[in-house]
């Protein structure tokens, strides 16, 4: 070994007694261990958050399609920030991107959109569906009756006028040939005497 601290076979950039390649390997290994430790900590934090989220998520109901509805109440996170209440639905056979309006009952959709405070019950949903079906049937019957009535009115308007004779009124329409009447008639302004019919001889002699 040389005096004066000059580098020798066992020396290197890192100092006495540790070869340069070994020192470099140790530095890389240390950095990798630190990164691995940070990654493990982040994974643990995410797992803890997921566990906490599962604890606070409460199932509040299920519809007849098999969709499940959950409520995450308002809470404060680890930073002290208030997180607003969340209402979510887990579709039975669809992804969230495949959801369309009408795939869930109207009552549950109103709850998800916060237009109602409390979750609906199955009895309420069935009762409302029955009522809507009755209204639909009544509306259809009303439409059919209105359509039939309109058809009858049109047929009456297209029918030819009936020729009638009304005696005793000046404004009454008169159709057809005028026939003499045995009884006198009056139209208010004119007087029409009845026609004279000769009697037979027997009645005259009596």
Q: In this predicted model, what pLDDT tens digit does every residue of 117-152 receive, in sequence order?
A: 999 999 999 999 999 899 989 888 888 888 788 877
Task: Pick out the chain residues at pLDDT < 70.
Answer: 1-40, 43, 45-55, 94-102, 159-206
pLDDT at 78: 81
User: Does pTM top 0.75 for this prediction?
Assistant: no
The Cα–Cα gap between 138 and 141 comes to 5
pLDDT at 2: 47
pLDDT at 149: 80
pLDDT at 12: 46
- How crowded is the C-beta side of 186, counted as CA atoms within 13 Å? 3
pLDDT at 62: 92
């Amino acid at each position: 070994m040389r005096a004066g601290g000059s580098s020798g076979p066992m020396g290197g950039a890192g100092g006495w007694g540790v070869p340069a390649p070994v020192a470099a390997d140790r530095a890389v290994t240390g950095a990798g261990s630190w990164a691995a430790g940070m990654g493990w900590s982040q994974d643990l934090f995410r797992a803890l958050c997921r566990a906490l989220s599962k604890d606070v998520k409460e199932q509040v109901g299920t519809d007849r399609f098999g969709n499940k509805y959950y409520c995450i109440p308002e809470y404060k996170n680890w930073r002290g920030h208030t997180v607003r209440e969340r209402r979510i639905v887990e579709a039975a056979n669809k992804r969230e991107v495949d959801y369309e309006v009408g795939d869930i009952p109207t009552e549950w959709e109103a709850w998800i959109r916060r237009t109602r405070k409390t979750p609906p019950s199955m009895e309420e949903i069935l009762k409302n569906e029955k009522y809507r079906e009755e209204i639909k049937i009544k509306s259809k019957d009303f439409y059919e009756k209105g359509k039939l009535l309109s058809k009858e009115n049109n047929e009456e308007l297209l029918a030819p006028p009936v020729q009638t004779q009304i005696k005793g009124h000046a404004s009454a329409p008169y159709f057809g040939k005028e026939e003499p009447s045995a009884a006198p008639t009056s139209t208010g302004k004119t007087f029409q005497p009845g026609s004279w019919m000769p009697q037979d001889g027997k009645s005259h002699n009596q």
